[in-house]
Structure 1
């Protein structure tokens, strides 16, 4: 049976696995954003501890995925929740790092101008700092989302499903078509996610920054 014939026969199973994969990936990244962005903002106000926390997060990212899944399995058992917790841990660093770096490297003239017209610290954060650094934050989300889509293929090993289920089942049964049925959609999903985030990043980039970037 050719790969095309396999897909024609099993497209419902592949679609189900794809939707599971998207669900796990999006849930992980959304929760990572809700945690990592506030932490990144807080770190810009406490620079003394920023290096330690970012360094610790960096160490977590160097731990192999299978090891992290094994630890998650011991702590939380089989299933989607464990996979999502592990993927959140991996997804947080790029988002946190880009939030921290974006705000720290923001031209202080913007902040001074905001305070000069009477804005409070919170108003300055939400009306000046975050909007201007949003492209940087989204770039971090892009990195995390692509990472998570790739790493989520390992989640099938702890019963989380997704496209990894097809890949690992195919490997164990020496079924090339099944392996491709998981690997090809996972690759296309990562590419599509990157392109979508690129478009969003261009849309949210302030016009002045686009002109400044083009002038360079």
Structure 2
């Protein structure tokens, strides 16, 4: 039997680890997607780098950061950030670049700057694709946060790995079930946020 305090403590660590990594991915991924609109060459470079990182297996990414950053919370955040970056960059870029050019030209015609076009025209129409990427990245971050317990990040993964090492089903379930519930919460909460911020008539919202 695993104590409630231990589970709550591990859940708190897991929550901070997942959301810190996710928000870092969002804070860097969305500006990178916007920057990619500047030129096809730049977009190709950014997407190529993101695809390269995504192609590396999650376990390998976690292992690679150890000689670079050591073990603990910060290396774990960096590893999760790398894995969560691609869906956000790629989906946001696709959403921004597939806006009807007639709308963009009309916005230019009434005197909007490029930034104002991105803010008032491109971004609202990109929300469905962007949120799809964020939701996928969030679920991915939640799952990889379990894996990073092997480099000392703590969280629910520590319970899972302890349970696996000792064949303790209680510990495995104590770590796995909250992580599953958190994945469901992530999907529901970001779906709700998407509906709140997406203008009516865009993406079927």
Residues 20, 161 of structure 1: 8 Å contact kept: yes
* Cα deviations by residue, 1:110-166 (Å, 9 ceiling, x for unpaired): 211211111111111112211221222121110100000011101111111010000
Residue 165 (structure 2) pairs with residue 172 (structure 1)? yes
- Residue equivalent to 1:94: 87
Counterpart among 77, 81, 86 of residue 84 in structure 1? 77
CA RMSD of aligned residues (A): 1.4
Q: CA deviation at 1:44?
A: 1.7
- CA-to-aligned-CA distance 1:165-212 (integer Å, 9 cap, x gap): 0000111111111011001111111111111111111222211225xx
Unmatched 5+ stretches in structure 1: 1-5
Measured in 2, the distance between the counterparts of 1:201 and 1:121 equals 24
Aligned length: 205
Shift of 1:98: 0.9
Is the Cα contact below 8 Å between 1:33 and 1:92 reproduced in 2?
A: yes
CA distance in 1, matches of 2:97, 2:144: 30
Counterpart of 2:8 in structure 1 is 15
TM-score, length-scaled by structure 1: 0.90
Given candidates 124, 128, 137, the residue that maps to 1:131 is: 124
Deviation above 6 Å: which 4+ runs of structure 1? none
TM-score (norm 2): 0.95
Q: Confirm or deny that 1:192 pairs with 2:200.
A: no
In structure 1, distance between residues paired with 2:202 and 2:62 = 41
Structure 2 spans left out of the alignment, 5+ residues: none
Separation of aligned partners in 1, 2:48 and 2:181: 32
Bigger CA radius of gyration: 1
* More displaced 10-residue stretch of structure 1: 15-24 or 122-131: 122-131
